[in-house]
Amino acid sequence: MVRLRYIQANGEEHVIEAQPGRSIMENAVKNNVPGIAADCGGVCACATCRVYVEDDGWRRKLGEPSEMEQSMIEFAGDATAGVRLSCQIVVTPEHDGLSLRLPETQH
């Protein structure tokens, strides 16, 4: 398993054992992590699963958002550095230890 750390806007942390092959969003929802609405169910159509990857090293490892993901991020009006849609990142063993900050609201 892969350990992921989700940090709420208020600083509360949730560390989960994530299943590789599932998205960061799917793992959060299956582990009852608050703060990820995932209204569209993970098809990159709503931007309610935004997370912030604050560490530059992790940003490089995850790569750039696809054109579709970037379009949804822009639609959401979130210009925060390191913003990603958690439904678009599939967990691999290399993600062990990844920290993700959540926005105050997904809407």
Give pLDDT tens digits for 10-24: 999 999 999 999 999
CATH number, domain of 66, equals: 3.10.20.30
Q: What are phi and psi of 53, to 5 degrees?
A: -100, 105
92 is a domain residue: yes
Residue 107 lies in a domain: no
- Location of structure tokens 């959060």: 28
Q: Are 86 and 27 in contact (CB under 8 A)?
A: no
Averaged pLDDT of the chain: 96
- pLDDT of residue 7 exceeding 90, the answer is yes
Residue 84: inside a domain: yes
* Residue at 54 is within a domain: yes
pLDDT at 31 over 90: yes
Residue 49 lies in a domain: yes
Distance CA 34, CA 7 (A): 10
Max CA separation in the chain (angstroms): 34
Whether residue 7 is contained in a domain is answered as: yes
- Per-residue model confidence as pLDDT tens digits over 57-98: 999 999 999 999 999 999 999 989 999 999 999 999 999 999
Q: pTM for this structure?
A: 0.95
Return the pLDDT at 38. 95
Which residues form the domain of 71?
2-101
